[in-house]
């Protein structure tokens, strides 16, 4: 199973505050930024670099820089809460958008928006905080593949075993980076213990 779970005390600390039901939207947004930053480092550990000749104030040297630009694709709307750290620390990042919304009774995702930059030859990082049934993630990856993405990574904050199984079956070559792997889904397809509805908590709805 291509699942990588974050193993860092700062990640555990941030996640505990993110899960806490008394955490208000302003702090929730900051914590989302912090956990997404830690996850972005994990999801890009193996990015290709290439040589670049520079001169320091002391002497010439050969350094290394990223060989190819990155594309981040948040699944709207909650995925937007994970985009900023990628914009802050990765040069030449492009952002695409896939809009999906789960039906409240069936938990099946409906597509309502798609706008993507060129994906061919670039690592495409699809981000969505919650991997519950895995339906949204699998559908979003279908969309980026159809648009030309070949090197795809999926990043989430909380994963359920059911979502990991579904996504691994649909797209076995796509690595999954998760902040934490939770116990299970409940009857309404919410993650347990989870953190509730991420989009609602992020946007105060």
What are the residues binding ligand PRP (CB under 6 A)?
75, 77-78, 100-102, 107, 109, 128-137, 163, 189, 198-199
Other Cβ atoms closer than 10 A to 198? 25
Site for ligand URA in 116-135 (CB under 6 A): 130, 132
First to last CA, the chain: 35
Q: What are φ and ψ of residue 105, in 5° steps?
A: -90, -40
CA distance 81 to 185: 22
Q: What are φ and ψ of residue 6, in 5° steps?
A: -55, 135
Token digits of residue 198: 């991420």
CA distance 186 to 163: 13
190 sits near ligand URA (criterion: CB under 6 A): yes
**Residue 109 CB, nearest distance to ligand PRP (Å)?**
5
- Residue 136 near which of ligand PRP, ligand URA, none (CB within 5-8 Å, type-dependent): ligand PRP
Q: Which stretch binds ligand URA (CB under 6 A): 59-67, 79-87, 142-150, 186-194?
A: 186-194
Nearer to ligand PRP, 64 or 183 (CB): 183
132 class by beta-carbon count within 10 Å (0-12 exposed, 13-18 middle, 19+ buried): buried
**Residue 79 CB, nearest distance to ligand URA (Å)?**
11
Q: Which stretch binds ligand URA (CB under 6 A): 12-20, 68-76, 169-177, 197-205?
A: 197-205
Would you name the residues annotated as active-site residues?
Answer: 102, 106, 197, 200
- Residue 191 near which of ligand URA, ligand PRP, none (CB within 5-8 Å, type-dependent): ligand URA
Of the residues 80, 178, 191, 202, which one makes contact with ligand URA according to CB under 6 A: 191
154 sits near ligand URA (criterion: CB under 6 A): no
Nearer to ligand URA, 6 or 156 (CB): 156
Token digits of residue 50: 């290439």
Other Cβ atoms closer than 10 A to 67? 10
Token digits of residue 4: 């990588």
- The answer to whether 74 and 140 have CB atoms below 8 angstroms apart is no
**Residue 48 CB, nearest distance to ligand PRP (Å)?**
29
- The answer to whether 64 and 52 have CB atoms below 8 angstroms apart is yes
Binding site for ligand URA (CB under 6 A): 130, 132, 190-191, 194, 197-199
């Amino acid at each position: 199973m291509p699942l990588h779970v974050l193993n860092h005390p700062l990640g555990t600390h941030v996640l505990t505050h993110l899960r806490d039901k008394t955490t208000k939207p302003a702090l929730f947004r900051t914590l989302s930024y912090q956990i997404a930053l830690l996850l972005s480092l994990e999801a890009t550990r193996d990015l290709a670099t290439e040589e670049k000749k520079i001169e320091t104030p002391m002497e010439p040297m050969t350094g290394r820089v990223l060989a190819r630009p990155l594309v981040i694709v948040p699944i709207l709307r909650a995925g937007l809460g994970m985009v900023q750290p990628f914009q802050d620390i990765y040069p030449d990042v492009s952002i695409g958008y896939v809009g999906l919304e789960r039906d409240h009774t069936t938990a099946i995702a409906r597509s309502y928006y798609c706008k993507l930059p060129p994906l061919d030859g670039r690592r495409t990082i699809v981000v969505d905080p919650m991997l519950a049934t895995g339906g949204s993630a699998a559908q979003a990856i279908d969309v980026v593949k159809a648009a030309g993405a070949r090197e795809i990574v999926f990043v989430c904050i909380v994963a359920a075993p059911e979502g990991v199984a579904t996504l691994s079956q649909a797209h076995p070559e796509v690595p999954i980076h998760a902040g934490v792997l939770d116990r299970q889904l409940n009857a309404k397809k919410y993650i347990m213990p989870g953190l509730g509805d991420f989009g609602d908590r992020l946007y105060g709805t």
